[in-house]
């Protein structure tokens, strides 16, 4: 089998009905949802399968729900005996990657994402924030704009998703100003439907508390390599991994660099394991036309069958 990476999506990939067919098919998936509900005290299965979308999208509900679906899709693949060579996850999805790499147990993964969601929700209600996608400028150009505007308010790069697709985050006025400056340079700016300024200093109030919580969780040496958002690189030492994950809350997601790292590692099979097709869409923008690759989404029984038939 060619070198394979499992990629786990985060917020923005949710959809009502996600994970239902795996839930109906596998005992292990029902156990995962039960575990998520026991830890969060949220009816994760009802929200995931029936919505409403408005409730599902609240970050405190969304984080355990998307994680449950990611891990359900992973469990279905693992049941067929397939394991990745490398893992990565986008923001929230990085916690599913921690589980896939066996750094953190499934139970502790749910504990981490539920605590993370609670803290992020709390900070978002205290500090109004906004996020915009800037399309058409390089990371250097966007960083230059952010540096000019940040003297007037909180604004930062949240995600470097593709070479010229960058998300900025911060206080609404500062983000709006940076967006206008980007538009003047020919970029397209898109307001994102989010409830807070994720990956910015506006949620820094959660940082110390979350760092302390991470310290209470058992982290193990990875059983398979994981490329981290904060560094776009590997790390094996559990203590350093804890530090990286604590920093992830307010640091930029270096997704573009992480995907370039996967190319350096000669990965040819990319499987987005979880709801939606956001990461597959980004990959199609990142991977050069002459690079040998295949992209799969695994989020239903039908897509699992296709992945098993064509990629293994």
Structure confidence by residue, pLDDT tens digits, 266-287: 999 999 999 999 999 999 999 9
Cis (ω within 30 of 0) for the bond into 83? no
Average pLDDT over residues 9-36: 97
pLDDT at 310: 86
pLDDT reading at 59 higher than 90: yes
Structure tokens at 239: 């203590």
Known catalytic membership, residue 199: yes
73 phi-psi bin (left φ>0, alpha ψ -120 to 50, beta other): alpha
Q: Where are the domains of the chain?
A: 4-125+201-311, 128-191
pLDDT at 134: 98
CA distance 254 to 244: 13
Instruction: For 64-103, give one letter per residue: b (16+ CB within 10 A) or e.
Output: bbbbbbbbbbbbbbeeeebebbbbbbbbbbbbbbbbbbeb
Least confident of 103-112, 194-203, 220-229: 194-203
Assign domain 128-191 to its CATH superfamily.
Answer: Malonyl-CoA ACP transacylase, ACP-binding (3.30.70.250)
Average pLDDT over residues 197-203: 95
Average pLDDT over residues 214-243: 98
pLDDT reading at 312 higher than 80: no
Structure tokens at 199: 């990956």
For the chain, the average pLDDT equals 97
Known catalytic membership, residue 91: yes
Candidates 40, 91, 96, 251; catalytic one: 91
pTM for the complete prediction? 0.97
Looking at the structure, give the CATH architecture of the domain made up of residues 4-125+201-311.
3-Layer(aba) Sandwich (3.40)
Candidates 101, 195, 199, 300; catalytic one: 199
């Amino acid at each position: 089998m060619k070198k394979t990476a499992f990629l786990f999506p985060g917020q923005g990939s949710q959809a009502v009905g996600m994970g239902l067919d795996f839930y109906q098919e596998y005992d292990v998936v029902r156990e995962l949802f039960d575990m998520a509900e026991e830890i969060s005290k949220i009816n994760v299965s009802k929200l995931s399968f029936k919505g409403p979308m408005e409730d599902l999208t609240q970050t405190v509900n969304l984080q355990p729900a998307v994680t449950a679906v990611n891990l359900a899709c992973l469990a279905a693949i693992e049941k067929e005996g397939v394991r990745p060579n490398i893992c990565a996850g986008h923001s929230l999805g990085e916690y599913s990657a921690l589980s896939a790499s066996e750094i953190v147990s499934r139970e502790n993964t749910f504990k981490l994402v539920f605590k993370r969601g609670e803290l992020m929700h709390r900070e978002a209600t205290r500090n109004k924030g906004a996020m915009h996608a800037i399309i058409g400028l390089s990371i250097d150009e966007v960083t230059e704009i952010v540096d000019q505007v940040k003297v007037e308010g909180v604004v930062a790069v949240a995600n470097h998703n593709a070479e010229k697709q960058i998300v900025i985050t911060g206080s609404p006025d500062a983000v709006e100003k940076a967006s206008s400056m980007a538009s003047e340079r020919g970029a397209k700016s898109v307001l994102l439907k989010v409830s807070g300024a994720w990956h910015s200093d506006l949620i820094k109030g959660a940082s110390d508390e979350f760092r302390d919580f991470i310290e209470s969780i058992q982290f193990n040496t990875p059983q398979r390599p994981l490329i981290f958002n904060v560094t776009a690189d590997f790390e094996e030492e559990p203590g350093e991994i804890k530090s990286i994950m604590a920093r992830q809350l307010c640091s930029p997601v270096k997704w573009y660099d992480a995907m370039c790292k996967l190319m350096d590692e000669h990965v040819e099979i990319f499987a987005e394991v979880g709801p939606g097709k956001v990461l597959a869409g980004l990959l199609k923008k990142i991977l050069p036309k002459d690079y040998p690759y295949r992209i799969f989404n695994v989020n239903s029984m039908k897509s699992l069958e296709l992945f098993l038939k064509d990629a293994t």
